[in-house]
Structure 1
Amino acid sequence: MLRLSPDHIRLPLLSYSAIGIITLGLTNSCKENKPAIVLEPEATEIVIPMDRNNLAQTTGTSSFLHNQADSKVHWQPWSKNVFKVASGENKTVFAFIGDGTDSHSLSILKKINDSPATCAALNSSHINVLVDANQHQDLAFLAASLNVNTGTSVNSPQLVWFSHEGIPVSWTSINNNNELNIHELISRMSNTVTHLWQDDPSYVLSNSRTDFIRRLEAIKPEVVEEDDPIAPIRAVRQAGSMFDPTSNTIDNLIGLFPARYTALMTLSAYHPDISDIKRKNYSDIAKSTAENIILAGLIDPLDGGSFSGIQQATSALPVFAKTLPAQTSTAQALYRLYQLTKDSQYLTAADAILDYTEKNLALPDGGYAMGIIYADHDIVDNPCIWTLEEIEAALTEEETKLCVQAFEISGLGNIPLIDDRNRSYFRKNTLTWKLSMSELATLTGIPQESLKEKLESITKKLAKLRTEKSATRVEEKLTTTDSMAALASAYVSAYRASGNQARLEKAKGILTFIQKNCIDGSGTLQRSRYNGQLLDSQAHGIDYVKVSRAALDLYEVSQDSTWLEWAAKIHQQMNSRLSDAEFSSLSETDGSTYPHPFKIRQFITIKPLNNECTWGIAYSNAKRLENNLGGTDYAKQAHNIRLHLLSMTDRAPLASIDFLTADAQLNLKTVYLKAPASAELLNAALPHACQIVHVTADGSYPGLKDDASKLTSGGAVVKQGDKTLGTAASAQDLDKLLR
């Protein structure tokens, strides 16, 4: 792997501290003197000239790609054919990896488009590929992994220069600091790669190939020799210590959705093997992060949706985009917190997020858009930023006073220095709730019902004004299978928290849509849809695990065994395509779309990327399938994946957040209901944070063990781990056992 920095050429050593950060593997490893890889022609090949921008000619695309169809850069969509052309023209391939829900990516593309010199340089030196990270999450993970391993910060967008063999030669990501010099950055790296390639392409091919394979093959997830049930508890304790109650911030969050942290703390508060003091601590952390970061920061008071993250240190300056993953993650975390606390503010906020999702992200074909950008990356003309004068002009004097109190609006601005060190936001304000309804009622002396009406009037006026002054509203209408499956799971959580039957029907409708519209003629799950059509894009590992998880969630609450059968079918399809024979490793794709067959293993979360961990969710699914169906393969896979994931929980708890969350959920109380379960008992179990297993006469339930004889018709057995907590024949008895 020949890593070319903007300033000099060097051959970097990969730090073994990065073992806890990424793993990638390569099949068909090459020896030092192995000749260049021969790219076999595909069965059906359409030759497209690449001396022009071809994004408008492609069907497998997205809003992100379509919006660059008029760019002067000769952009191509990602395909193996690009590398065949590069080989024939003896060129390298330049890949820009960004997405349509990231304003920074769009800002950088605009800067490139506005520079004829940069466009000309890219066109003359490389075959240029525009990669949508929402479609090709695997490639975004690959680029982020390379940046982590060479000590480069991970940001979006990411730039990678490939040889025509498909081996990365050089890479970087663009942060706010080097954005102003984007033309110089690209020029330096592009010139270095091009000159070295022109001088001695065989040297670049040989060194990039052998070094890339050798170093990345050496970095694989370690395997612990024995299971350590206490390791996740230690890691959660370490994660809990990252919350600062004084500043209400989470250390080292770096791009991760705060809701994922809140969900981890919420579920960990139920763990049977922690002290009551630690249980209260986790509960308090979950409530503090939800109230001070989510409700008083990321929730948009003008429409109820959740912004996609934090730009700097606090939620006073959010990322002004609302993505589908942000909505589902935040809503589900709030529903779970409501189950823990029964505090209605969490239920109300979560319901508002799902209502926002239906109003703004639902598509006519039944799918859901990936998200909306509400403001340019640049500060100027940001419709989500307000001056006191704007608010005074839009509202009455009484409304202005109330607005100033609710949102702490100031003539000098309300964005703290820690988020705005160069004072770019001087005299600017964001609208985030600074006081709860009860606190505001106490401060103003206005009854809460009257206060609610006044605030609704204020937010409606400001929402209308924001729409009128909005210079930018960019929608990404791509639909991905994993994001829809996550939404289905969020609706199941909504049903469990509220008992609202309409939420359950919505979950069923989304999974039914996936069954009918996200599977090709051969029965294979696909990753994405666009403009009402299924794209030729085989599902990634993350698609399989989220669909299987959602089907399992739906089975628990509905007793409909067809969802359990489908969950098992999707899991098995994933294993047949992406797992090794020992069920101990999962690749994100089968490598068929790569010019060189990478094996990208997404077993960890790279925080700035905010990716979800396929391995952590697969582990949970395998355990749940084992609990419902029995079978040694499920048990073997769960055990093998767990031994890999345990190797890094102590070193990188937030990077292991999906595994830790899954482990906490698997340690919840489990209710075994004799199928068909009585509506009384099922309805008693649903509002509680518990797992539900429907026991049939011909099933195998390894978790039940000797308690099977205690399970009578119309009854329930409650267990937590190997401990039997009791039996229940009535809703009242079951409710007591689950409290």
Structure 2
Amino acid sequence: MKFTVAFRRVCTALAVGGMLLSGATSCRRRPSSATLDEPAVLAAELHTNAVAGLPGTIYQSQAKSPIHWQPWTLSTFERAKAAKRLVLLVIAMPQQSACHKILNEMAADTGMVGKINDNYVPVLVDADATRELGLLAVDLANEIHVAVQLPMFVWLTPEANPVAWIPAMATAPESLRDAFDKSNTWLMRSWTDDPEYVKTHSAADNQARRERFASVRDDNQASKQPAADVLKAIRQLTTLYDAASRSFDEAGGQFPSGTLDLLASVVLTPYVPKDLRARSLYMLQELLKDVLTSPMFDPLDGGLFSVRRSSTWALPVFDRECCSQARAIVALLRAYQATRNPLVLERAMGVLAYAEKSFATSGGGFALGDLPGERPKCWLWTIEDIRKVLPAEDAAWWIAASGMHGLGNLPFEADPTREFFRCNTLSWVKPMGEIAAELGITPDVFKPRFETARKILLKARDERLGGALRDETEHAAATLRMVSAYAMAFGVSGNPLLRDKACSLLEHARKTFADGPRLWMYAARTPPAISAGRAFLYGLAMQATLDVADITGEAPPLAWADDLASTCAEHFTAADFLKECPDNANIINLPITDLTMLFDESTAGLMSMAECRLAARGRPLVESFSRVAIALPMVDLQKPVMHTDLIEATLLRHYAPLVIQGKHLSPAMQNALALMPLRLVKRRVASAADGLADGTVKLILADQTSQVLATPEALQDALLSSPANQ
């Protein structure tokens, strides 16, 4: 495996592709005698693993590691300066099981442990909570022209300037050790020879990086005509899918929640040109055909695998965590609203049930979930495996329903090396009704039989996987995403129990993760640099509070959304951009912003949607914050898949209808308002200037035509404008 290592003008030696090219160093300025005479002071804290008490699966998984992991704090860098050592920063993300695998391999390698502890101040970072470092890892990978891989090793000076970095890929332990050893040898020689040279040139490089980040923002100008350009971006998106080859260009490996959500939103937005809604509906329906019967949906427990291994949906990465489940629930329910395909609803509610069962904590919130490391063969089955655990009469129909074969059901492009020869994924290729008909029984009679077989297979798989520790650490992002999932599920089903769950969970989140006006990723407080809420978390919180406000019509959620928006304006607004990290948590001096859907939705997309919804309610954000929140970057037109959230927010801003609510509405009308498509209808309460009669609502379309509606039926008819309903 080729490892690319970048060392940014530290000296005349350059490591690329795991090979060292050494140059002369005699021309360097030698450290002053005063510098040499200052003794290194190794603080007692650097002799121990100091992350054991930190919340989150990344830290907890390494609580017993022999590596002397330190937290991402200013104190750690002060100790590194006193110790005259480089900082070895390892950026990991709990959503990626490869991170756990590599960290465990590092801990098991005594030679590597010794070199790390003896030469560096090792710092472990959870990039889910310390989000700006995950974004930085992407930028650093781009600098050396490789795809981002986490964990990433980043060597920093005690002043927090990057010196060198390599992606730690999940291959053989020998490859990881070899890449580290080569980097370590070169770095230690350079640092020992002339640390001042390393620090000076790393600082200069970081200043150049800072200027480059600013120039990229300047080059990436916002659209001057967003209402027209957002339609161009959607048209561009619809050209990326080819139904004949079932291929989706630029889709990447993640489950297409953002694309499904955007396409369905286009279909459900009345004032979008009819031909574009029709094209969006067609792509939505075809994309759903690809994923709904694929192994991305687990037929045994109903959960969703959110990442695929190749360009097809035939072989997932067998990892799951709560945030991706909740995000998919919202997207699937939106797709159901646009298509009325009952299978979409079935899959969405199956994922919801799985998320509740797997990630709800005893404390009342939701955990992210623990990913101990993927073992694909524990999830795959041979025909003999099925026949061994199921009665013969059930094994036959299960094998047929899952499309299993003796040589395996994985297409060549999903497993080109035939690593999983004779293995099969499980999926529900045939509808339950069709299987029942082939067996000559009704679906109602067949359902208990299916449930029995499913439970047998699930038990067998659980035994293969072995017992796993349940994550009980409440996670703010997961909890807030589940608030939105419940709100969306209520909007589709009308089930008041789901509305009540959304309301109670939001209140739990407020009490657990809010400290005055500030948010934290975990209930346990840490130094701000580790888990103080980043801008992304505030975006999720505003989304959840506005979702609950929409389905209840109550004031408290809206008031909290106002408070969150004020905090965002105060702490995340810079001169011309939306900064991800608040000043009290910032250590690395770079203007990091989140404009692209790299790991999840982008902060920019969440903020833009929140700004639109609050402004529609007559609660606009302060001008400085609003200006950076509503921009539609022109890059969205060329790369719409990576910006579906920003595109959807802009679509809502310019094309969504506005409903003005009069006073003294009947319970039936209030319920109709609560069931309007969530986020796709702007809302506000009527003022005296509107002159709206009691008991009525006013619907204003994007072209400013309007009608006053007095009954729930009239409101529903006015909003049912998708091609599927025409």
1:394 Cα deviation (Å)?
0.3
**8 Å contact kept, 2:227–2:650:** no
Equivalent residue, structure 1, for 2:386: 391
566, 573, 578: which is aligned to 1:586?
578
**8 Å contact kept, 2:210–2:590:** no
- Counterpart of 2:635, as a letter, is M
1:489 Cα deviation (Å)?
1.1
Q: Within 2, Cα distance between the matches of 1:175 and 1:414?
A: 28
- Counterpart of 2:597, as a letter, is T
Runs (5+) with no aligned partner, structure 2: 1-5, 9-14, 23-31, 33-41, 721-726
1:73 matched to 2:67: yes
1:504 Cα deviation (Å)?
0.6
1:727 Cα deviation (Å)?
1.9
1:693 matched to 2:683: yes
Q: 1:307-322 to 2 correspondence within 5 Å?
A: 307-322=305-320
Q: 1:191 to 1:654 in 2, by over 3 A?
A: farther
Equivalent residue, structure 2, for 1:342: 340
Q: Within 1, Cα distance between the matches of 2:292 and 2:177?
A: 37
Q: Within 2, Cα distance between the matches of 1:190 and 1:594?
A: 27
Equivalent residue, structure 1, for 2:610: 621
Q: 1:112-261 to 2 correspondence within 5 Å?
A: 112-175=106-169, 181-220=175-214, 221=217, 222-224=220-222, 226-261=224-259
**8 Å contact kept, 1:559–1:694:** no
583, 595, 598: which is aligned to 2:587?
595
Is the partner of 2:520 in helix, strand or coil?
A: coil
Q: Within 1, Cα distance between the matches of 2:449 and 2:262?
A: 36
Q: Within 1, Cα distance between the matches of 2:109 and 2:642?
A: 38
Q: Within 2, Cα distance between the matches of 1:602 and 1:182?
A: 30
**8 Å contact kept, 2:223–2:633:** no
1:453 matched to 2:443: no
**8 Å contact kept, 1:406–1:433:** yes
Q: Within 2, Cα distance between the matches of 1:138 and 1:500?
A: 39
Q: 1:603-614 to 2 correspondence within 5 Å?
A: 603-606=595-598, 610-614=599-603
Q: Within 2, Cα distance between the matches of 1:668 and 1:532?
A: 41
1:724 matched to 2:697: no
**8 Å contact kept, 2:569–2:622:** no
1:562 matched to 2:551: no
280, 296, 299: which is aligned to 1:298?
296
- Counterpart of 1:691, as a letter, is V
422, 425, 428: which is aligned to 1:427?
422
- Counterpart of 1:573, as a letter, is T
- Counterpart of 2:711, as a letter, is S
Is the partner of 1:302 in helix, strand or coil?
A: coil
**8 Å contact kept, 1:63–1:475:** no
Runs (5+) with no aligned partner, structure 1: 12-34, 36-45, 699-705
1:498 matched to 2:498: no
How many residue pairs get aligned? The number is 684
- Counterpart of 1:697, as a letter, is S
1:330 matched to 2:328: yes
1:249 Cα deviation (Å)?
4.0
Is the partner of 2:87 in helix, strand or coil?
A: strand
Q: 1:444 to 1:250 in 2, by over 3 A?
A: farther
**8 Å contact kept, 1:670–1:720:** yes
Q: Within 1, Cα distance between the matches of 2:237 and 2:334?
A: 19
Moved more, 359-368 or 187-196: 187-196
Post-superposition Cα deviations, 1:27-82, rounded to whole Å, max 9, x if no partner, equal xxxxxxxx9xxxxxxxxxx96521232233x3x33232122122222222222222
**8 Å contact kept, 1:300–1:306:** yes
Equivalent residue, structure 1, for 2:357: 359
**8 Å contact kept, 1:671–1:692:** yes
Equivalent residue, structure 2, for 1:417: 412
Post-superposition Cα deviations, 1:209-248, rounded to whole Å, max 9, x if no partner, equal 1122223322332333723322122222222222232343
Q: 1:71 to 1:630 in 2, by over 3 A?
A: closer
Q: 1:385 to 1:553 in 2, by over 3 A?
A: same
Q: 1:146 to 1:320 in 2, by over 3 A?
A: same
Q: 1:664 to 1:550 in 2, by over 3 A?
A: same
1:361 Cα deviation (Å)?
0.6
**8 Å contact kept, 1:626–1:635:** no
Q: Within 2, Cα distance between the matches of 1:598 and 1:496?
A: 41
Q: 1:470-485 to 2 correspondence within 5 Å?
A: 470-471=465-466, 473=468, 475-485=470-480
**8 Å contact kept, 2:49–2:65:** yes
Equivalent residue, structure 2, for 1:402: 397
Q: 1:268-307 to 2 correspondence within 5 Å?
A: 268-272=266-270, 274-307=272-305
Q: 1:210 to 1:155 in 2, by over 3 A?
A: same
1:383 Cα deviation (Å)?
2.3
1:327 Cα deviation (Å)?
1.0
Equivalent residue, structure 2, for 1:50: 46
**8 Å contact kept, 2:223–2:634:** no
Q: Within 2, Cα distance between the matches of 1:158 and 1:714?
A: 59
Equivalent residue, structure 1, for 2:536: 542
1:202 Cα deviation (Å)?
1.7
1:594 Cα deviation (Å)?
3.9
Q: Within 2, Cα distance between the matches of 1:183 and 1:523?
A: 45
Equivalent residue, structure 2, for 1:642: 630
Q: Within 1, Cα distance between the matches of 2:401 and 2:184?
A: 50
Is the partner of 2:540 in helix, strand or coil?
A: helix
Post-superposition Cα deviations, 1:313-355, rounded to whole Å, max 9, x if no partner, equal 2222112122111111111111111211222222222222222
- Counterpart of 1:616, as a letter, is G
**8 Å contact kept, 2:549–2:558:** yes
Q: 1:532 to 1:605 in 2, by over 3 A?
A: closer
Is the partner of 1:278 in helix, strand or coil?
A: helix
**8 Å contact kept, 1:306–1:353:** yes
Moved more, 656-665 or 413-422: 656-665
Q: 1:410 to 1:179 in 2, by over 3 A?
A: farther
1:274 Cα deviation (Å)?
4.4
1:195 Cα deviation (Å)?
1.9
Post-superposition Cα deviations, 1:446-467, rounded to whole Å, max 9, x if no partner, equal 4222332222111111011111
109, 112, 118: which is aligned to 2:103?
109
1:488 Cα deviation (Å)?
0.7
Q: Within 2, Cα distance between the matches of 1:223 and 1:327?
A: 34
- Counterpart of 1:615, as a letter, is A
Moved more, 430-439 or 303-312: 430-439
* RMSD of Structure 2 on Structure 1 (CA): 2.8
Equivalent residue, structure 2, for 1:663: 650
Q: 1:594 to 1:569 in 2, by over 3 A?
A: closer
Q: 1:534 to 1:78 in 2, by over 3 A?
A: closer
- Counterpart of 1:368, as a letter, is F
Q: Within 1, Cα distance between the matches of 2:145 and 2:65?
A: 32
**8 Å contact kept, 1:675–1:694:** no
**8 Å contact kept, 2:130–2:530:** no
**8 Å contact kept, 1:258–1:293:** no
Equivalent residue, structure 2, for 1:737: 718
**8 Å contact kept, 1:491–1:503:** yes
Q: Within 1, Cα distance between the matches of 2:246 and 2:470?
A: 32
1:377 matched to 2:341: no
- Give TM-score scaled by structure 2 length: 0.88
1:277 Cα deviation (Å)?
3.5
Q: Within 2, Cα distance between the matches of 1:472 and 1:6?
A: 40
Q: 1:672 to 1:649 in 2, by over 3 A?
A: same
Q: Within 1, Cα distance between the matches of 2:338 and 2:448?
A: 29
Q: Within 2, Cα distance between the matches of 1:297 and 1:638?
A: 42
**8 Å contact kept, 2:130–2:531:** no
Q: Within 2, Cα distance between the matches of 1:618 and 1:52?
A: 40
- Give TM-score scaled by structure 1 length: 0.87
Equivalent residue, structure 1, for 2:77: 83
Is the partner of 1:87 in helix, strand or coil?
A: helix
Q: Within 1, Cα distance between the matches of 2:447 and 2:526?
A: 40
